[in-house]
Amino acid sequence: MSPPNILMTRIDNRLIHGQVGITWTNSLGANLVVVANDEAANDPVQQSLMDMVVSDGVQTRYFTLQKTIDIIHKAAQRQKIFIVCKTPQDVLTLVKGEVPINFVNIGNMHFCEGKKQIHKTVSVDHSDIEAFRQLSQLGIPCEIRRVPDETGENITNLLN
């Protein structure tokens, strides 16, 4: 069986919003957005709000991290998949669960108590930094890029 056709994986604490639902899906040519998030998977209201900002013809699925790990390998090649997670820890969980992620795009990680801002739209704490370091050690580049036409910046340059 061929591996699932994962075009990109994005970390965005807002999950799907206009930038993700339209700009990124169109730019990638994705036809399926998989939100891998335990809370969103069990929140129909949040799901319907997110469905409203996705381009026509693009399907959405809301899976827990474990369900994503369990079924991603059953995806058909015609499914051009864009995975959206809330945190680097979630991405690391997927990678350790053998979801074939080979690149991570970082959109928004909002500032809150205990985090330090390292980029306009990205704030991290020790746990985030550790997750990014592990992803980097696994050979998975993690790049901050809010929109497709922006130049990306490798997060490892900002963590030191």
Write the DSSP symbol of residue 40. Answer: H
Angle at 118 (CA atoms; ends 114, 33), nearest 5 degrees: 90
CB 28 within 8 A of CB 7: yes
Longest Cα–Cα distance in the chain: 45
How do strand 32-36 and strand 81-85 relate by DSSP bridges?
Answer: parallel
Cα separation, 148 vs 150, in Å, equals 6
Q: What are the φ and ψ backbone dihedral angles of 89, each rounded to 5 degrees?
A: -65, -40
Q: Is 17 a catalytic residue?
A: yes
Tokens of 120: 């306009």
The SS3 assignment for 37 reads coil
Q: Which of 17, 110, 119, 126 is catalytic?
A: 17
- Catalytically active residues are 17
